[in-house]
């Protein structure tokens, strides 16, 4: 008699936060999409970093003094991040939308019905995974572009002012993007819809912001999510951009708001 008898006497392990974390960690590493998404994101960011380092190098002779001065050792990375960061968002989206799409969410929530904790465990795991992957990608894209920039002495080292912070911050930024995407995925619940939303927030808004007229337009532009977040990638504060940590802080704030909305909706909606 294993069914009813044993349960009462010896107190069995329960659906603790640690156990749910372990479950989420198992989930994220046992679907192939995690690996492929991370690989795609890494290839895009590292590849574009190399490409833009080369572009800066090749066009160096045509640039005027001001343009040359504006190029930093992390400039290629900054551009590459702009194209590649949304891929890390896709991973955050898939972590939850994959469950909605397959019906797994109902199995998961019968195993762990305390939804805020459930989402928190997902956020911790996705943040951890993308932080590690993001740091690797960030450092790799920095190192891959330096030898190319060196040709025109545009390169730098991690010891230069603000460079280590930029490269390290790149990893943090990607982790925050993935967590924001998890929130978006929880709110939207469909993979395609969530990815489009992420794309608009990170990519389209940044472009639109560049066209905003006047000083209010420039101010607003700084606070747009992708512009605020990517301020961390510049070794020294650039004009028309927030200070590095302030920018990342603003992005973290957006992430927190999205996640908060996600938790409230997730708890109140039917699964």
Closest contact distance (angstroms) between CB of 181 and another protein is 18
Classify residue 30 by its DSSP letter: S
Best CA proximity match to 125, nearest among 98, 170, 95, 168: 95
Alpha-carbon span 74 to 177, nearest angstrom: 19
Of the pair 4, 69, the CB lying nearest another protein is at 4
Closest contact distance (angstroms) between CB of 267 and another protein is 9
Of the pair 8, 213, the CB lying nearest another protein is at 8
Best CA proximity match to 73, nearest among 162, 158, 154, 141: 154
Of the pair 115, 218, the CB lying nearest another protein is at 115
Is residue 152 within 8 A of residue 226, CB to CB? The reply is no
Closest contact distance (angstroms) between CB of 13 and another protein is 3
Is residue 57 within 8 A of residue 154, CB to CB? The reply is yes
Of the pair 103, 217, the CB lying nearest another protein is at 103
Best CA proximity match to 83, nearest among 191, 175, 184, 199: 199
List interacting residues with another protein (CB under 8 A): 1-4, 6-7, 12-16, 19-20, 22-23, 26-27, 30-33, 98-99, 102-104, 106-114, 268, 270-271
Of the pair 36, 143, the CB lying nearest another protein is at 36
Q: What share of the chain is helix, strand, coil (3-state, %, to 5)?
A: 80, 0, 20
Closest contact distance (angstroms) between CB of 72 and another protein is 40
Closest contact distance (angstroms) between CB of 89 and another protein is 19
């Amino acid at each position: 008699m294993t069914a009813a008898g044993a349960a009462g006497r010896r107190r069995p392990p329960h659906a603790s936060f640690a156990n749910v974390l372990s479950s989420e960690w198992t989930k994220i590493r046992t679907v192939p999409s995690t690996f492929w998404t991370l690989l795609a994101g890494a290839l895009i960011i590292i590849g574009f970093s190399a490409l833009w380092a080369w572009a800066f190098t090749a066009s160096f002779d045509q640039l005027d003094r001001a343009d040359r001065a504006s190029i930093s050792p992390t400039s290629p990375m900054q551009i590459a991040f702009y194209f590649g960061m949304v891929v890390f968002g896709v991973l955050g989206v898939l972590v939850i939308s994959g469950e909605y799409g397959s019906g797994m969410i109902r199995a998961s929530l019968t195993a762990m019905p305390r939804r805020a904790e459930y989402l928190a465990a997902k956020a911790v795991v996705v943040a951890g995974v993308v932080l590690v992957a993001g740091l690797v990608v960030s450092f790799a894209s920095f190192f891959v572009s330096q030898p190319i920039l060196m040709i025109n002495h545009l390169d730098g080292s991690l010891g230069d002012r603000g460079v280590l912070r930029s490269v390290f911050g790149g990893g943090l930024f990607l982790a925050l993007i993935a967590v924001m995407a998890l929130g978006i995925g929880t709110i939207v619940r469909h993979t395609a819809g969530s990815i489009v939303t992420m794309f608009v927030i990170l990519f389209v808004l940044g472009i639109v912001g560049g066209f905003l007229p006047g000083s209010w337009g420039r101010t607003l532009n700084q606070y747009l999510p992708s512009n605020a977040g990517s301020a961390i990638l510049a070794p020294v504060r650039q004009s028309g951009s927030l200070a590095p940590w302030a920018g990342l802080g603003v992005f973290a704030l957006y992430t927190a708001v999205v996640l908060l909305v996600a938790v409230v909706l997730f708890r109140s909606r039917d699964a």
